[in-house]
Amino acid sequence: MAATERAVELAVTAARAASDLKAQEIIALDVSEQLVLTDVFLIASGTNERQVGAIVDAVEESLFALGAKPVRREGKAQGRWVLIDFGDVVVHVQHAEDRVYYALERLWKDCPLIELPADARGGDGSEADS
């Protein structure tokens, strides 16, 4: 069973909001086979605490516009790793250093990637069309 269309729609919208604020290395993982509580993990990085907070605010605003409200939010005060649970999608916005340390991608490496549009991938150094 793959992630629902709604979960993918929310993930893409959240990824675009994060990318608009220069988030880095945005990826979406289909965790629906591994977890019963959510379908998608969206992971994005910011370079400092202020940027992490701004990305979180933008993600929340963009998903609120689609009728999605966070069930839970953790870590915003510290600005190092913020988790926002929207039910179908859990968004992780991490400080770049924490992202390397915790390596969520490795932890969930058995989960398939969800292809994100080019404007929703953030800056990851792999874009050749500048």
Interval 108-127: pLDDT, tens = 999 999 999 999 999 854 44
Residue 17 near residue 61 (C-beta atoms within 8 A): yes
Please give the pLDDT value at position 77: 87
Place of tokens 């400092």: 48
- Place 29 in a pLDDT band, splitting at 50, 70 and 90: very high
pLDDT value at 130 more than 70: no
Share of the chain above pLDDT 70, in %: 94
Please provide the average confidence, as pLDDT, over all residues in the chain.
93
Which domains, from first to last, does the chain contain? 5-117 (3.30.460.10)
Comparing CA positions, the residue from 38, 40, 37, 32 lying closest to residue 8 is 40
Spatial distance between the Cα atoms of 55 and 18, rounded to a whole number of angstroms: 5
Please give the pLDDT value at position 79: 87
β pairing state of 81-85 and 24-30: unpaired
CA distances to 48, 106, 116 from 9, rounded to whole Å, are 27, 24, 10
Q: Mind giving me the DSSP string for 64-109? A: HTTT---SEEE-TTTTSEEEEE-SSEEEEEEEHHHHHHH-HHHHTT
* pTM confidence score: 0.91
Interval 31-83: pLDDT, tens = 999 998 999 999 999 999 999 999 999 999 999 999 999 999 999 989 899 99
3-class DSSP state for residue 36? Answer: coil
